[in-house]
Amino acid sequence: MAKVFVGPRLRTLRSDRRLSQVDLAALLEISPSYLNQIEHNQRPLTVPVLLRLTELFGVDPEFFSTQDDTRLIADVREALAGERVPATAAADLVSASPEVARAVVALHRRYRAATEHTAVLAGAHQSAPAPYEQVRDFFYDRNNHIAQLDRAAEALADGTDPAELTLRRLAAHGVRVAAAESVRRHYDPETRVLSLSPRLLPAQRAFQLATQLALLEHDALLTELVDTAGLTDPQSRALTRLGLANYFAGALILPYTAFRTAAEDHRYDIDRLADLFGVGFETVCHRLSTLQRPRARGVPFSFVRVDRAGNISKRQSATGFHFTRAGGTCPLWNVYDAFTTPGRLLTQIAEMPDGRRYFWIARTVHHPPRRHGAIGRTFAIGLGCELRHAHRLVYADGHDLKRPATTPIGLGCKVCDRPACPQRAFPPTGDAAPADEHTSALTPYTAPP
């Protein structure tokens, strides 16, 4: 295998287990000096030592994979975007001291939250809703996989219709279900009446029933999971609880093992899976982005939902793909092309500035208005994975995956390293926009020749 240096991860693992270098070296049947060299990235990890480590600590080999560093490197580069830190320097920081790298990212997030709050107080009109961002970060930091809820939902699923199952469980709690036109879902704890909109489709109704069941049966677990995020703002905590309850609902409707098996059998054909499980295109895509159970992983996907204005209303990632928080995404990304061909599924092989390649599919979904004169909703759904996984997807048939034609995209203009992009909307953060009254460059925000 390629040389893999795992010093910081191994030191953290040993420290968490309260083992000295001498103790761990004895367990691994290697010398303390050899272990010390591995921990300081002076020697690579060998296959025999890797196997002993996974057996000793009960971790997957992926725990030591450098693939997981991609997201952290991207986060560090965005946090230091104004300083123009090269990718190699960010990678060196993550490799040598991931704890410091995460601290830099955390400080950057707090700085952005404080800046946005100050802007609101000063009367600014545009500010990202910090509580929603914290919820997104919660799932992003956990690779969009919550093992405890996934297993709890799968243990409950009995193969019957999810709506019937949840109705029985809710009835055991003394909950009565009623219809209400004014809300999608409302629960009154005093009367134990759960009101649901009669306009919900069967899959939507099952989802809302399962969400309420999670809030009732797994209240303590939801609170425990929220506590792990260190959130103090009441709205952020409430939104995270709801996000976790929704996660449970999705896992109950689409049980992990059955859904992953079907996904593999049908090569991740989204429409086929939607038909098999009686749910929509977006629901399947979202669930596919959560299949990261150790020793039973699906394709690691990133999932995104955007509107015509470029607003990202949902984003989750089990890959190294990084969603920028600096404002705006890349207009060359095929998720925006989807609006030009409604209902048609588009594919794209995109290459990031660091050379990493992703296979993306994108398609619009439309929610028609509830009555004449009302406004419907249209979104573009994007689902992407690293190119090395693309052969497992039915959508990759016909693409030359060994010598692919790629589209160069970036994290967003403000943090993108591609100076000659003709679609650039802003100069990189920290760079002054060149101005020469005598010359106009061929591409925006590049210095004249």
| Residues 90 and 182 occupy one common structural domain | no
| Residues 248 and 135 occupy one common structural domain | yes
- Would you call 284 exposed, middle or buried from its count of C-beta atoms within 10 A (0-12, 13-18, 19+)? buried
Residue 265: predicted pLDDT: 97
**Between these two residues, 91 and 355, which has the higher pLDDT value?**
355
pLDDT tens-place string over residues 391-408: 999 999 999 999 999 999
In a domain, 408, yes or no: yes
Is the pLDDT at 177 greater than 90, yes or no? yes
Query: How are strands ordered across the β-sheet holding 176-179?
Result: 176-179, 193-196, 185-188
Q: What angle, rounded to 10 degrees, do the helices at 234-253 and 219-227 form?
A: 120
The sign of the dihedral angle between the CA atoms of 276, 281, 283, 286 is positive
Residue 1: predicted pLDDT: 47
| Residues 244 and 294 occupy one common structural domain | no
Is the pLDDT at 314 greater than 70, yes or no? yes
In a domain, 132, yes or no: yes
Confidence band (pLDDT; 50, 70, 90) for 350?
Answer: very high
In a domain, 54, yes or no: yes
| Residues 181 and 64 occupy one common structural domain | no
Residue 419: predicted pLDDT: 76
Is the pLDDT at 194 greater than 80, yes or no? yes
Of the ranges 26-30, 310-314, 378-382, the best mean pLDDT one: 378-382
Confidence band (pLDDT; 50, 70, 90) for 114?
Answer: confident
| Residues 374 and 285 occupy one common structural domain | yes
**Between these two residues, 297 and 8, which has the higher pLDDT value?**
297
**Between these two residues, 280 and 137, which has the higher pLDDT value?**
280
> Does residue 170 sit in helix, strand or coil?
helix
In a domain, 432, yes or no: no
In a domain, 162, yes or no: yes
Number of structural domains (the chain) is: 3
41: containing domain:
7-98
CATH number at residue 333: 3.30.450
Confidence band (pLDDT; 50, 70, 90) for 184?
Answer: very high
| Residues 208 and 308 occupy one common structural domain | no
In a domain, 53, yes or no: yes
Residue 303: predicted pLDDT: 94
* Mean pLDDT, all residues of the chain: 85
Confidence band (pLDDT; 50, 70, 90) for 66?
Answer: low
| Residues 290 and 391 occupy one common structural domain | yes
| Residues 163 and 202 occupy one common structural domain | yes
Q: How many angstroms separate the CA atoms of 306 and 337, rounded?
A: 11
| Residues 296 and 403 occupy one common structural domain | yes
Confidence band (pLDDT; 50, 70, 90) for 294?
Answer: confident
| Residues 299 and 216 occupy one common structural domain | no
Q: What angle, rounded to 10 degrees, do the helices at 7-16 and 98-121 form?
A: 90
The radius of gyration computed from the CA coordinates of the chain, to the nearest angstrom, equals 24
Confidence band (pLDDT; 50, 70, 90) for 326?
Answer: low
Average pLDDT in the 425-433 region?
Answer: 70
13-27, 121-135, 330-344, 432-446: the lowest-pLDDT one? 121-135
Residue 128: predicted pLDDT: 45
CATH number at residue 157: 1.10.10.2910
* pTM score of the predicted model: 0.75
* 69, 95 Cβ separation under 8 angstroms: yes
Confidence band (pLDDT; 50, 70, 90) for 328?
Answer: low
**Between these two residues, 87 and 358, which has the higher pLDDT value?**
358
| Residues 16 and 138 occupy one common structural domain | no
| Residues 242 and 286 occupy one common structural domain | no
CATH number at residue 24: 1.10.260.40
Is the pLDDT at 14 greater than 90, yes or no? no
In a domain, 268, yes or no: no
Counting other chains too, the contacts that 238-246 makes at CB distance below 8 Å and 24 or more residues apart are 239/131, 239/132, 239/134, 239/135, 240/134, 240/135, 240/138, 241/215, 242/211, 243/135, 243/138, 243/139, 244/146, 244/149, 244/214, 245/211, 245/212, 245/214, 245/215, 245/218, 246/207, 246/211
Confidence band (pLDDT; 50, 70, 90) for 213?
Answer: very high
In a domain, 318, yes or no: yes
